[in-house]
Chain A
Amino acid sequence: MNYKKISLILSLMIIIYVPSFNQKSVEAFSPQVIQHGAVGDDVIELQARLKHIGFYTGPIDGVFDWRTYWALRNFQYEFGMEIDGMAGQKTKEKLVKATEYNEQEVKQNMYQTQKPKQNQQNKQNQQAQGEQKQQPNQQQQQTQQPAEQTQQPAQQTGAVNVPQGFSQNDIKLMANAVYGEARGEPYEGQVAVAAVILNRVNSPTFPNTISGVIFEPRAFTAVADGQIYLTPNDTARRAVLDAINGWDPTSNATYYFNPETATSPWIWTRPQIKQIGKHIFCK
């Protein structure tokens, strides 16, 4: 019995020990532990390596999603390692030993499908910009576009994390509404407006979709006067993400108003929760 244990420990030690001589393994991944939800180059490498060895069959998109998670667990199971679904030092070394990874090729493949489409996008933008000459109200966007595009190649992955149940477009639409309604407000005031939209979606007395709530006639002044079509800034987007992830500075408010400009006396009869910035939030 003892012999077996010792030999097992010895063999484990060898497994741990040997790769530390092997410089290649250290160069491959960065030293971080990769876990579910992570995004970036290490995930691309992880997916590519798992794919190479047949455990992962999904697209290499640089986001550690459930498919990657199960693939990694299967790998750990097959190779007799602790099954925790995280790529720590040991797992990474095993992977490096068992598989090959050609970073350039993989990344090229990842972007290949996207390149022709990007050209298409440029064309579309040119078209859009051509049209904009007749539409001065869209100018803001014109200045924004090139900046965004130059940023693109650096860190883009083929997929992104989104909060469950939401699309990037839902976030954008809400960011538009929040920016139109509360761009001058403090950060928590913007989160609060986003939270009110979500509280309304969950409330039985309002429409059940984000777009339904936002575009409900006479619900938001920014929608009625067209301010919703301004291009939102990053703060509004972050505020929306926080609200979607559960932050609600309003404590379940479904109404808010600006006491200086509110015209309806009815709104004053609602039980008030608190004031954030210029807005009073109520039930």
Chain B
Amino acid sequence: MIRSILIAVLAIGIAGVGYWGYKEHEEKNALLIQAENSYQRSFHELSYHMDLLHDKIGTSLAMNSGERLSPQFVDIWRLSSQALTNVGQLPLTLLPFNKTEEFLSQIGDFTYRTAIRNLDDDPLSDDEIKTLEQLYKQAADIKDELRQVQYTTLENNLRWMDVELALATQEEQSDNTIIDGLKTVEKKVTEFAEGDEGSAFMEISTKDHEFKNVSGEWKDEEQIRNFSKDLFSIKDNVNIVVTKSGEGADVPMYSVSYKDGKSVYMDITQKGAHPIQILVDRPIEDKKLSLNDGLIEAEKYLKKFDYQNMIPLQSQQFDNVGVFSFVYSQDDVRIYPDSMVLKVALDNGDILGFNAKNFLMNHNKRNIPDPKFTLEEARDMVNNNVEIQEEHLALIENDLHEEVLTYEFLGTMNDETYRIFINADNGAEEKVEKLSGTETNFEVNM
């Protein structure tokens, strides 16, 4: 009797301990993930901030007016301090991260000193520009190294907590890839140049333009279903799913989806049935068409929807897909807010994507005044070190989200390409961007 009671008590005890242990284990794992996430966040943010910093310093080299430079330097200063915080949050006390920290405090000091002085009365001296150029080069090195390590950690799924755990359990630290990788960050000076950042294909307009110029009659679901059937050459329209958007949508629209081998998705306005965006996903075969052939297909597609005066702006090839952006041109002025993007499969020229959201949102017949500044006068406002290669008139949305007429200059300086917008009415430097859009292939360079 006593024996069986004892056994029962013991069994309950063991089960209890087991349960407790399991709970502890679960809690430990949850906490581990939490801690891992915060390390990951700091590290990814650090590399992002370094990237941004590099870009901002590069852009500041091409700027001319104090009006632009001061805020730019303030921004760099802010970024450098954020990046420093990121470094501080990493478990790197045992690692030599001095070079990065040193660089960050240097650039912080420099930009702070220059940002607080009046750059219009007292512009940057030659020595200061040299310092800035040097910092720019250094930023490129550090950024590249960090991006490479980031690639390694993402590719190989490396965890910071493994390092921490190894330390906590006092184990002999054999080769830990993450530490090795980060040590080389400090040592390795890579020779390749890399640059990204700049403007995205689609400029995001934060101001809510309300699709004012979307015209046509209101359509019902059946009409949309038939429209989609023709557009995507679908035989049977029963499987096409059409749903109405909810109250949160910017403009009343239908969402169309269809699946059969390929997946088709389209947002289309209820009024006038203008496709806002189309996304087609299917496996893509070997590349048979050139990027240029793709562009021709994209232009054909625009004609089909009767979009006139669209000029190609950018083209990029990702794997076997070409992505093309277009802007509207009115009397030879490029209207940047009215943009569109198309995606073309380079195996057979199918249109895989169409995005006219910005165009539909912003497009209207504008009254474009004659510029008060001449091209020559505007050119004088551009930084002397920039060699101007191309120029256009362009309508852009400035920092205050107003549409302004500008001269657009494409120029080069120290192997980088810049796009500079000078206000055509008052000569102000509205925007300076460093263009690029390529990056070292880390997979090959690892």
With a cutoff of 8 Å between Cβ atoms, the chain B residues found around residue A211 in the complex are 40-41, 44-45, 48
CB distance from B172 to the nearest CB of A (A): 14
Say which size band chain A's interface belongs to. Answer: 35 or more
Q: Do the beta carbons of A251 and B437 come within 8 Å of each other? A: no
Alpha-carbon gap, A148 to B443, bound state (A): 10
Picked from A58, A148, A188, the residue with its CB within 8 Å of the CB of B279 is A188
CB distance from B259 to the nearest CB of A (A): 7
Q: Which residue of A lies closest to B154 (CB)?
A: A172
Picked from B196, B253, B389, the residue with its CB within 8 Å of the CB of A164 is B196
Does any Cβ of B come within 8 Å of A20's Cβ? no
CB distance from A232 to the nearest CB of B (A): 10
Known: A131-B177, A245-B341. A59 touches B443 (CB 8 A): no
Q: Do the beta carbons of B33 and A224 come within 8 Å of each other? A: yes
Alpha-carbon gap, A241 to B412, bound state (A): 28
Known: A35-B291, A170-B48. A223 touches B446 (CB 8 A): no
CB distance from A74 to the nearest CB of B (A): 9
CB distance from B177 to the nearest CB of A (A): 6
Alpha-carbon gap, A228 to B38, bound state (A): 13
B interface residues, Cβ below 8 angstroms from A: 29-30, 33-34, 36-38, 40-41, 44-45, 47-49, 51, 147, 150-152, 154-159, 162, 175, 177, 180-181, 191-194, 196-202, 204, 206, 243, 245-251, 253, 255, 257, 259, 263, 265, 267, 277, 279, 281, 290-293, 295, 314-318, 322-323, 341, 343, 353, 355, 357-358, 389, 412, 415-417, 435-446
Known: A128-B156, A235-B281, A282-B248. A59 touches B45 (CB 8 A): no
Does any Cβ of B come within 8 Å of A16's Cβ? no
Q: Do the beta carbons of B444 and A247 come within 8 Å of each other? A: no
Q: Which residue of A lies closest to B324 (CB)?
A: A37
Known: A215-B41, A271-B247. A125 touches B156 (CB 8 A): yes
Chain A 156-189 residues near chain B, CB threshold 8 A: 156-170, 172-173, 176, 186-188
Does any Cβ of B come within 8 Å of A231's Cβ? yes
Alpha-carbon gap, A163 to B198, bound state (A): 9
With a cutoff of 8 Å between Cβ atoms, the chain A residues found around residue B440 in the complex are 61, 158-160
CB distance from A88 to the nearest CB of B (A): 8
Most buried by B among A37, A39, A118: A37
Q: Do the beta carbons of A161 and B446 come within 8 Å of each other? A: no
**Interchain Cβ contacts under 8 Å between A and B, 18 examples:** A35-B290, A65-B436, A118-B446, A124-B156, A141-B156, A160-B439, A164-B198, A169-B44, A169-B147, A187-B263, A209-B48, A215-B37, A245-B355, A248-B277, A270-B248, A271-B246, A272-B247, A275-B243
Does any Cβ of B come within 8 Å of A38's Cβ? yes
Known: A164-B436, A187-B265, A211-B48. A169 touches B292 (CB 8 A): no
Q: Do the beta carbons of B267 and A249 come within 8 Å of each other? A: yes
Does any Cβ of B come within 8 Å of A200's Cβ? no
Alpha-carbon gap, A70 to B408, bound state (A): 17
Does any Cβ of B come within 8 Å of A138's Cβ? yes
Does any Cβ of B come within 8 Å of A244's Cβ? yes
Known: A59-B193, A169-B147, A224-B33. A202 touches B206 (CB 8 A): yes
Q: Do the beta carbons of B323 and A223 come within 8 Å of each other? A: no
The 8 closest A-B pairs by CB, nearest first: A32-B290, A211-B44, A215-B41, A246-B202, A271-B248, A188-B265, A164-B198, A33-B292
Alpha-carbon gap, A70 to B135, bound state (A): 26
Q: Do the beta carbons of A247 and B438 come within 8 Å of each other? A: no
User: A160-B441, A249-B279 provided; 4 other pairs, C-beta below 8 A?
Assistant: A127-B175, A168-B151, A215-B40, A274-B245
Q: Do the beta carbons of B246 and A242 come within 8 Å of each other? A: no
With a cutoff of 8 Å between Cβ atoms, the chain B residues found around residue A278 in the complex are none
With a cutoff of 8 Å between Cβ atoms, the chain B residues found around residue A223 in the complex are 37
Most buried by B among A38, A176, A276: A38
Does any Cβ of B come within 8 Å of A108's Cβ? no
Known: A245-B202, A273-B245. A67 touches B417 (CB 8 A): yes
Most buried by A among B181, B197, B200, B415: B200
Alpha-carbon gap, A59 to B389, bound state (A): 21
Q: Which residue of B lies closest to A87 (CB)?
A: B292
Q: Which residue of A lies closest to B193 (CB)?
A: A59
Q: Do the beta carbons of A34 and B156 come within 8 Å of each other? A: no
Alpha-carbon gap, A223 to B33, bound state (A): 8
Known: A127-B175, A164-B198, A173-B154. A34 touches B290 (CB 8 A): yes
With a cutoff of 8 Å between Cβ atoms, the chain B residues found around residue A252 in the complex are 250
Q: Do the beta carbons of A65 and B353 come within 8 Å of each other? A: no
Alpha-carbon gap, A118 to B444, bound state (A): 7
Alpha-carbon gap, A201 to B152, bound state (A): 25
Does any Cβ of B come within 8 Å of A258's Cβ? no
With a cutoff of 8 Å between Cβ atoms, the chain B residues found around residue A128 in the complex are 156, 158, 177
Does any Cβ of B come within 8 Å of A233's Cβ? no
Alpha-carbon gap, A172 to B154, bound state (A): 7
Q: Do the beta carbons of A187 and B318 come within 8 Å of each other? A: no
Picked from A32, A249, A283, the residue with its CB within 8 Å of the CB of B248 is A283
Does any Cβ of B come within 8 Å of A113's Cβ? yes
Q: Which residue of B lies closest to A187 (CB)?
A: B281
With a cutoff of 8 Å between Cβ atoms, the chain B residues found around residue A101 in the complex are none
Q: Do the beta carbons of A59 and B417 come within 8 Å of each other? A: no
Known: A191-B279, A246-B200. A274 touches B441 (CB 8 A): no
Picked from B267, B291, B444, the residue with its CB within 8 Å of the CB of A152 is B444
With a cutoff of 8 Å between Cβ atoms, the chain B residues found around residue A209 in the complex are 44-45, 48-49
With a cutoff of 8 Å between Cβ atoms, the chain A residues found around residue B250 in the complex are 251-252
